[in-house]
Amino acid sequence: MEPLAERVLHTLETCLEQVVDPVPPPQHIVVAFSGGCDSTVLLHLLHRILKNKENATLRAVHINHQLQTQADEWASHCQHICAEWGVEFTAINVEVDLSRGLGLEAAAREVRYQALAGNMSDKSVLLTAHNQDDQFETVLLQLMRGAGPHGLSAMDLCREFSTGLHIRPLLGVSRSEIEDYARAHELNWIEDPSNQLLHHDRNFLRHEVIPKLKSRWPSAAKAVSRSADHSRQLCAILDASLEEKLLPQLIRADQLNLDKLSAFNEDEAIQLIRYWLMKLTGSSPSTEQLNQIAQQMLHAWEDAEPVLFCCGKELRRFQGVLYCLAPLQSFDESQPIPWDGKSDLEIAGVGTLRSLVIDDQGLSIHKIESSQKTEIRFRQGGEQITLAGRGRHKLKKLFQDEKIPPWERNRIPLIYIDEKLAAVVGYWVDEAFLARNREPSIHVKML
C-alpha cells in the first residue's frame, strides 16, 4: 500500500475507535465529492482501501450549489467518475440563501452540511477532503477576524456529525502531496474558475499571501497546524470546565438562569453563554455579539424584554431567564380559522394543532359537534375565561401568573365555539365547555 493510502487508513482506524460500540457495525462511508482534485484523490484512495473490506460501504455525495454555469456539467463528471470506479453516487441540488448576511462561502458551507447531514444513515461516517493547506488558510482567516482559541483551533480531524462522525483524513497532508498523487494516478478532476477570484478572502490568502509566507518559512503550514492542535487541546480543557459550571445554571437545554449566572464575574458569565450557544447551535458568537449580550441581557432592567439574533437563533430575556429560540415566524393573527375539532390543523407560522380523545376533564366533544361554528383565533386583547372552581379571569392575568413569556402569549391558539371562548390550547378549558361524568372529550395541543 502506498504511503498516502496507509496514512489515510491509519487516520480512519484511529478516528473510528472513538465509536463506542461493543460490536462495531458495518461502517457506511460517505465522501463529500465536489469533483475537485482533493475530493477526487480522497475518493480514489477510499475506493482502493475499502474495495476488499466486507464491513464497509462507500458512497459519494455531490452537492450542486447551482452557483456556476458549469454546475450541472460538474455533477455529470462526478457521476461518470463514480460509475467508472463502481462507487455509489448521489447528487443533491441546493439553493444558497444569501439573505441572512452570512456571505457566499459561509452560506454555501451551511447549506452543504445541512444536505450532507440529511443523507447520513445510522452510524454513517462523513469524509471531507480538507488538507493541511486548507487548515493554514482557515487559521489565517480566523486571525484576521480576531478569533479566540476556539476559532484558532480551526478544523477538527474528527468530530461528531449528524448520526455519526465527520472525519478529515487528509488534514495532515499538503496540497502538493495530493496533487502529486493525482498526477501519478492520472486522475481527472474539475478546476473551479471561482477559485482564482481574488476578491474571495480565502483565494487571496491562497494565491497572494501564503506563497510568500512559505517562501520565507517553508514549514509554515505544518507549524500553523501544530498551533491549531495546541489551541484545540486547550479548548478541550476549557470546555470541560465550562460544562461543569454550566449545568447548574440550566433550567432546560435552551433556557439559562441569568440570576444564578450573576454569581460569576462578567468575563466568566460571557464565556459560559458563549459555550452554551456553541453547544446549542454549533456556532460561536462574534465578539460584537457577546458584547451585545452582556449589555442587553446581563445588564437589562428586570422588566426589559430584549431580543438579539445570534448564531441563527433568537435570544430573549424574561424574568431572569435567557432563552435561545428558533426565530419566530410571522403569522396572521387577525383571521379566524375554521376547525372541525378532529383533524390536524396546520397553522402557518405557528405549528400543527392536534386533538387527542380522552375520557374526562377535556373539551367536550358534544359541545363541538352540536355547535354551529368552531374556530381557532388568537388574542386580540380583553379575553376572559371561566375556570371550574376558580371563577372568571382575564387571559392576560392567567398568562402572567403562569409566567408564560410575552412572545408566546399571542401565539397560543384560542378555541371559540359559537363565538364564545371555549379553551386556551395547552392550558385551560372554560367551565361551560368542560366534559363531565366521563363524557367523551379531547385534549388539544400544539406540535
Q: Are 58 and 46 in contact (CB under 8 A)?
A: yes
From CA 224, how far away is CA 222, in angstroms rounded? 6
Do 426 and 436 touch, CB atoms closer than 8 A? no
Question: Which has the closest alpha carbon to 433: 445, 443, 423?
Answer: 423
Give residue 187's pLDDT: 95
pLDDT score recorded for residue 45? 92
Which pLDDT score is estimated for 289? 87
DSSP secondary structure letter of residue 285: P
For residue 385, count other CB atoms closer than 10 A to its CB: 23
Looking at 325, 352, 372, which one is the last position of a domain? 325
Considering the domain architecture, whether residues 18 and 115 belong to the same structural domain is answered as yes
Nearest to 258 by CA among 211, 309, 298, 316: 298
Shared domain check, 165 and 59:
yes
> Contact 28/124 with Cβ under 8 angstroms?
yes
Residue-level pLDDT at 12: 79
Answer yes or no: is 238 within a domain: no
Tell me if 123 is assigned to some domain: yes
Cell of 72: 450541472
Q: Which residue has the cell 456571505?
A: 103
Per-residue pLDDT of the chain (447 residues; tens, 9 = 90+): 678 888 888 887 787 766 545 444 557 889 999 999 999 999 999 998 887 777 778 999 999 988 888 999 999 999 999 999 999 999 999 988 876 666 777 788 888 999 999 888 777 889 999 999 999 999 999 999 888 888 899 899 988 888 788 999 999 999 999 999 999 999 999 998 888 888 888 999 999 999 999 999 999 999 999 999 999 999 999 999 999 999 999 999 999 998 888 888 988 999 999 999 988 887 788 888 888 888 888 887 766 778 888 888 889 998 888 999 888 888 888 889 998 888 888 988 888 988 888 876 788 888 888 888 999 999 998 999 999 889 999 999 999 999 889 999 989 999 999 999 999 998 999 999 888 887 888 888 888
Q: Is residue 56 part of a domain?
A: yes
**Residue 335 three-state SS:** coil
Both 296 and 159 in a single domain?
Answer: no
CATH number of 321's domain? 1.20.59
Q: What is the pLDDT of residue 89?
A: 95
Q: Quick check: is 242 in a domain?
A: no
Give the closest residue to 172 by CA, choosing from 188, 159, 156: 156
The CATH number given to whatever domain includes residue 199 is 3.40.50.620
Query: Are 169 and 44 members of one domain?
Result: yes
pTM: 0.73
Kindly list the strands in the beta sheet with 351-358, ordered across the sheet, starting from the edge strand earlier in the chain: 345-347, 351-358, 441-446, 363-364
Residues 311, 387, single domain; the answer is no
What is the domain count for the chain? 3
Q: Do 200 and 294 belong together in one domain? A: no
Same domain, 83 and 172: yes
Strands 27-32, 124-127: pairing is parallel
Of 282, 301, 325, at which residue does a domain stop? 325
> What distance in Å separates the CA atoms of residue 101 and residue 114, rounded to the nearest whole number?
18
For residues 426 and 340, the answer to whether their CB atoms sit within 8 Å is no
Distance (Å, whole) CA 56 – CA 73: 30
Same domain, 302 and 204: no
Residue ranges in 294-443 assigned as alpha helix (H): 365-369, 395-401, 406-409
Listing DSSP states for 150-175 in one string gives HHHT-S-SEEEETTEEEE-TTTTS-H
Domain for residue 239, yes or no?
no
Burial classification of residue 140, based on how many CB atoms lie within 10 Å of its CB (0-12 exposed, 13-18 middle, 19 or more buried):
buried
pLDDT recorded at residue 255: 93
Same domain, 272 and 184: no
CB neighbour class for 319 (10 Å; exposed up to 12, middle 13-18, buried from 19): exposed
Q: Is residue 288 part of a domain?
A: yes
Same domain, yes or no, for 9 and 104?
yes
Do the domain assignments include residue 42?
yes
Quick one: 321 and 350 in the same domain? no
**pLDDT in the model for residue 101:** 63
- The parent domain of residue 319 ranges over 253-325
For residue 331, being part of any structural domain is answered with no
Is 312 exposed, middle or buried, given 0-12, 13-18 or 19+ CB atoms closer than 10 A? middle
Q: 406 and 372, same structural domain?
A: yes
